[in-house]
Amino acid sequence: MKFVFSDVRGSGIIEKAQAVGIKTIIRELREFKSRDEYEEFVRKLLHENSFDLLILAGYMKVLSPKTVRDFKGKIVNIHPSLLPAFPGTHAIEKAFKYGVKYTGVTVHFVDEGIDTGKIIEQVPIRIFPDDTLESLEMRIHRIEHMIYPRVVEAVLEGKITL
């Protein structure tokens, strides 16, 4: 079953999914009494809706170890750095401020750590002397939009497995 879950109302992916008739579910963390209650909702949602692959995109929360174990090998994430460098949030800004000459995009399987899962593909991006944080972010997002669909397709076709 195809469905899109978002924890952000009005996100672009929700509008795109609804436009092509894909089921959408929106629940924000603040709607729950606790982080644990929210996580249990997510686990239940995933268990009740069979799926081949859970694709994280712009999901800025860490899945619980229990959720990751339940769906091992069925969760992929995209991250805006050349992991293992700059894991976690604000990776583009961290790379830019640190002054590295290259950063990039990584697609990886999700494990119980933060951006520590098996790397599927990486694309390096040179940081030019005249780059601004904004220009770098734009270039990284263009690469993300190119690489993620291709990798997801390969995983779904069984060409890439954990």
Residues tagged active-site: 79
Distance, in Å, from the CA atom of 57 to the CA atom of 118, rounded to the nearest integer, reads 17
**What is the CB neighbour count within 10 angstroms for residue 8?**
13
Q: Which residues is 119 bridged to in the sheet?
A: 108
Distance, in Å, from the CA atom of 26 to the CA atom of 42, rounded to the nearest integer, reads 11
